[in-house]
């Protein structure tokens, strides 16, 4: 583990701290502005609204959203960096309550837009004055069949604050407070360590350390089984009830709308992925041979092949990622470099810090922030490239308005996974040692398997859990059984799961924060493999088209955004092309292994 001083982000460009008087002022101001907006905007929908009036209202509504987003996102970042910090939770509760109040006041706006007669709506969308908002308006109208009355929508929002939102916050509080007592390798006694430090030990050369550390991690989650299960049961039930209330045809429909996908496309994607589980099992068999194991456990999947695995100091990791980005396009490298120059990245793992890694996209006018938990292994190096890829995506999309700033979920992972691919190829081009080349290829294959096949497993588990929850409460043991069954389909006969892994479902925060979000990882990874294949074929000609794709954010439908690349997401063959590339990488790995013997 690296001992160098790792950078923390500086949030003072937003606010000086959780008790900054400006926060209170901003929250009070946005509540007043929301009420004023309602008073002036709602009457305009009573008659025939003009394109000029609607454009003005859309601009005012955007400004209002930005006013509440700034304190809300500051609170999220502050809480993520250290949930134990003074004022962190109080601020989160304060902004959540204000967010709810503002949402109630402005709820009418999008409902009024969706209530517009089809002929009026079409005429407005075609007007030149509304071109900057066209995709947002068209996408919004797709939700029309599932909207309730304003009074019903208002009640739902008000109850969410003490309902599903409260269970999400409870889960976050529980997981951030978990304390892990463990004797780290090289130490003589147990100490309190973060969950990220334990998960990092899945890459330790000692198999006993890998299994013991993961068991400790999962066992602490198991100790919270009552609260964890309550969070899952209530959130799954809430989702089902809301889907019934809105007459969604199935429980994944809200995700399809958000992702701008359709059920047939997602089912085809998942089926193709399952048909290629054999590639994952082929890799597991090869890794088992490389490790010289008679029995390979799920704690061995990420085991280093070298008993003295390469550890990357953070300064080296930073340099490698920036080199890879700059080599592809200076714009990419420059945007990534600014995260360090402007202290918009938080790196060291510590108690109270959110686990994993993320990029907070913020909004137009406020640059994004990145959080990682860096411990120095090759996976952490790849994660750095991944999150900086997200950051570059948000930075390049700054020219979009708030409605079109966020890329739709099929594109949410486009820049992040592409960043990983750039880094992997950069490392392979620099490296002549066959053992390190083997390790790099293994790491990339493991990442692809984790981001496609494992995420598919997570989605199948989520679907199974939702289906059974419709019949009644699930026990923690039943969640564990469903988790076990779905993972076994991927692992096959090659991987033996440790008993504590029955609790693996409990630490996947995506199940709590966003229904069926994991499908976006599968889409994103396979889409990037397709884009990367185009890059290998087209070379420099590809670069400006790719940068333009990132800069467009969510300003158009997936089909339109991908037209310059001749990619059709409705074709099952396209998804298979991604796995064909995985097969080629697996063949390349076998060739390097054979040449090294």
Report how far Cα 76 is from the mean position of its chain's Cα atoms. 15
Angle (nearest 5°) at CA 418 between 413 and 423: 135
Q: In which element (H, E) is residue 371 found?
A: strand 369-371
Q: What residues contact 216, with CB distance under 8 A and at least 6 apart?
A: 180, 181, 182, 198
Q: Look at residues 171, 154, 233, 280 and name the one whose alpha carbon lies nearest to residue 579.
A: 280
- With b for 16 or more beta-carbon neighbours within 10 A and e for fewer, the 344-379 pattern comes to bbbbbbebebbbbbbbbbbbbebbbbbbbbbbbbbb
Tokens 């033996």 label which residue?
496
Token readout for 191 is 């100490």
Length of the chain: 597
Q: What residues contact 318, with CB distance under 8 A and at least 6 apart?
A: 340, 384
Distance, in Å, from the CA atom of 288 to the CA atom of 345, rounded to the nearest integer, reads: 37
Query: Which of the four pLDDT bands, split at 50, 70 and 90, describes residue 307?
Result: low
Other CB atoms closer than 10 Å to residue 315's CB: what's the count? 12
Crossing angle for the helix pair 134-141 and 118-125, to the nearest 10 degrees = 160
Distance, in Å, from the CA atom of 135 to the CA atom of 402, rounded to the nearest integer, reads: 12
Distance, in Å, from the CA atom of 465 to the CA atom of 516, rounded to the nearest integer, reads: 12
- % of residues, the chain, pLDDT over 70: 99
Distance, in Å, from the CA atom of 369 to the CA atom of 388, rounded to the nearest integer, reads: 9
Q: Look at residues 419, 443, 450 and name the one whose alpha carbon lies nearest to residue 518.
A: 450
Most confidently predicted of 285-289, 310-314, 429-433: 285-289
Distance, in Å, from the CA atom of 75 to the CA atom of 15, rounded to the nearest integer, reads: 10
Distance, in Å, from the CA atom of 316 to the CA atom of 381, rounded to the nearest integer, reads: 9
Token readout for 177 is 């407070």
Strands 191-193 and 180-182: antiparallel
Q: CA–CA distance from 551 to each of 130, 224, 244, 397, 496 (Å)? A: 20, 43, 37, 4, 44
Angle (nearest 5°) at CA 567 between 562 and 570: 105
- With b for 16 or more beta-carbon neighbours within 10 A and e for fewer, the 413-426 pattern comes to bbbbbbbbbbbbbb
Query: Which of the four pLDDT bands, split at 50, 70 and 90, describes residue 396?
Result: very high
With 0-12 CB in 10 A as exposed, 13-18 as middle and 19+ as buried, what is 291? middle
SS3 369: strand
Least confident of 22-31, 385-394, 444-453, 516-525: 516-525
Angle (nearest 5°) at CA 253 between 252 and 258: 100
Token readout for 389 is 């890829």
Instruction: Report yes or no: 487 and 455 within 8 Å, Cβ to Cβ.
Output: no
The pLDDT tens digits for 349-392 are: 988 898 889 999 999 999 999 999 998 988 899 999 999 999 99
The pLDDT tens digits for 233-265 are: 999 999 999 999 999 999 999 999 988 888 888
pLDDT average, residue stretch 433-446: 90
Distance, in Å, from the CA atom of 213 to the CA atom of 183, rounded to the nearest integer, reads: 9
Q: Look at residues 328, 259, 320 and name the one whose alpha carbon lies nearest to residue 547.
A: 328
Upper half-sphere CA count for residue 139 (Cβ side, 13 Å): 20
Res. 306: pLDDT tops 90: no
Q: Look at residues 394, 405, 442, 479 and name the one whose alpha carbon lies nearest to residue 596.
A: 442
- % of residues, the chain, pLDDT over 90: 78
Res. 1: pLDDT tops 60: no
Distance, in Å, from the CA atom of 210 to the CA atom of 200, rounded to the nearest integer, reads: 9
Beta bridge partners of 370: 345, 359
Q: Alpha helix (H) ranges present in 311-412? A: 314-328, 330-341, 378-396, 409-412
Query: Could you say which DSSP state residue 47 is in?
Result: S
Res. 518: pLDDT tops 50: yes
Res. 2: pLDDT tops 50: no
The pLDDT tens digits for 133-160 are: 999 999 999 999 999 888 898 899 888 8
Strands 180-182 and 345-346: unpaired
What HEC string does 146-198 produce?
HCCCHHHHHHHHHHHHHCHHHHHHHHHHHHHHCCEEECCCCCCCCEEECHHHH
Token readout for 119 is 């002929």
Of residues 327 and 115, the one with the higher pLDDT is: 327
Q: CA–CA distance from 52 to each of 44, 136, 307, 413 (Å)? A: 12, 17, 67, 36
Given this model, what pLDDT does residue 391 score?
98
Q: What residues contact 517, with CB distance under 8 A and at least 6 apart?
A: 255, 409, 510
Given this model, what pLDDT does residue 94 score?
95
pLDDT average, residue stretch 474-503: 97
Cα(first)–Cα(last) distance of the chain, in Å?
31
The whole model's pTM is what? 0.83
Angle (nearest 5°) at CA 277 between 273 and 283: 130
Q: Look at residues 103, 238, 107, 105 and name the one whose alpha carbon lies nearest to residue 165.
A: 238
Q: Look at residues 218, 264, 271, 582 and name the one whose alpha carbon lies nearest to residue 456.
A: 271
Beta bridge partners of 496: 297
Instruction: Report yes or no: 39 and 376 within 8 Å, Cβ to Cβ.
Output: no
Given this model, what pLDDT does residue 308 score?
65
Tokens 């890829």 label which residue?
389
The pLDDT tens digits for 46-97 are: 888 999 999 999 999 999 999 999 999 999 999 999 998 999 999 999 999 9
Beta bridge partners of 193: 180
Query: Could you say which DSSP state residue 84 is in?
Result: T
For the chain, give the mean pLDDT: 93
pLDDT average, residue stretch 180-186: 93
């Amino acid at each position: 583990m690296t001992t160098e001083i790792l950078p923390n982000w500086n949030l003072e460009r937003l606010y000086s701290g959780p008790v900054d008087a400006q926060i209170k002022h901003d929250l009070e101001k946005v509540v007043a502005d929301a009420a004023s907006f309602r008073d002036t905007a709602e009457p305009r929908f009573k008659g025939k609204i003009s394109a000029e009036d609607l454009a003005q209202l859309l601009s005012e509504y955007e400004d209002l959203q930005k006013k509440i987003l700034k304190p809300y996102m500051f609170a999220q970042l502050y809480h993520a960096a250290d949930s134990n910090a003074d004022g962190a939770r109080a601020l989160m509760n304060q902004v959540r309550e204000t967010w709810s109040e503002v949402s109630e006041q402005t709820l009418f706006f999008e409902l009024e837009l969706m209530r517009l007669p089809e002929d009026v709506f079409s005429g407005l969308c075609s007007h030149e004055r509304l071109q900057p908002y066209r995709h947002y308006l068209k996408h919004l109208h797709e939700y029309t069949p599932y909207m309730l009355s304003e009074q019903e929508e208002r009640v739902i929002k008000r109850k969410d604050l003490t309902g599903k939102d409260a269970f999400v916050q409870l889960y976050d509080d529980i997981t951030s407070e978990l304390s892990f007592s463990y004797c780290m390798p090289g130490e003589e006694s147990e100490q309190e360590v973060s969950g990220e430090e334990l998960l990092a030990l899945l890459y330790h050369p000692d198999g006993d350390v890998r299994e013991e550390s993961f068991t400790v991690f999962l066992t602490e989650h198991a100790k919270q089984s009552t609260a964890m299960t309550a969070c899952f049961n209530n959130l799954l039930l809430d989702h089902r009830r809301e889907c019934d209330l809105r007459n969604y045809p199935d429980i994944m429909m809200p995700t399809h709308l958000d992702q701008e996908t359709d059920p047939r496309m997602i089912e085809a994607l998942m089926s193709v992925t399952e048909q290629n589980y054999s590639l994952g099992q082929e890799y597991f068999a090869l890794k088992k041979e490389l490790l010289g194991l008679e029995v390979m456990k799920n704690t061995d999947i990420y085991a280093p092949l070298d008993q003295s695995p390469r550890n990357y100091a953070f300064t080296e990791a930073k340099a490698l990622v920036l080199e890879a980005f700059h080599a592809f396009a200076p714009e990419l490298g420059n945007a990534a470099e600014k995260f360090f120059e402007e202290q918009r990245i938080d790196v060291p793992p510590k108690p109270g810090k959110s686990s994993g890694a993320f990029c907070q996209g913020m909004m137009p006018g406020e640059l994004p922030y990145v959080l990682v938990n860096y411990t120095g292994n090759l996976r952490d190096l790849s994660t750095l490239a991944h999150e900086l890829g997200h950051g570059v995506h948000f930075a390049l999309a700054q020219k979009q308005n708030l409605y079109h700033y966020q890329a739709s979920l099929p594109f949410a992972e486009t820049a992040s996974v592409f960043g990983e691919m750039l880094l992997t190829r950069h490392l392979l081009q620099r490296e002549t040692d066959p053992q390190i080349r083997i390790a790099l290829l293994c790491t990339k294959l493991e990442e692809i398997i984790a981001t496609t096949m494992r995420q598919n497993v997570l989605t199948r588990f989520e679907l199974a859990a939702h289906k059974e929850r419709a019949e009644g409460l699930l026990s923690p043991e039943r969640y564990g059984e469903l988790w076990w069954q779905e993972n076994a389909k991927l692992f096959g006969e090659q991987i033996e799961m440790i008993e504590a892994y029955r609790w693996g479902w409990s630490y996947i925060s995506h199940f709590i924060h966003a229904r069926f979000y994991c499908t976006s990882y599968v889409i994103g990874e396979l889409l990037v493999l397709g884009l990367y294949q185009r890059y290998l074929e087209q070379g420099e000609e590809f670069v400006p088209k790719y940068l333009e794709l990132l800069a467009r954010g969510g300003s158009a439908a997936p089909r339109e955004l991908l037209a310059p690349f001749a990619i059709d997401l409705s074709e099952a063959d396209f998804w298979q092309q991604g796995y064909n590339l995985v097969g080629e990488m697996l063949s390349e790995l076998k060739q390097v292994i054979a040449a090294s013997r």
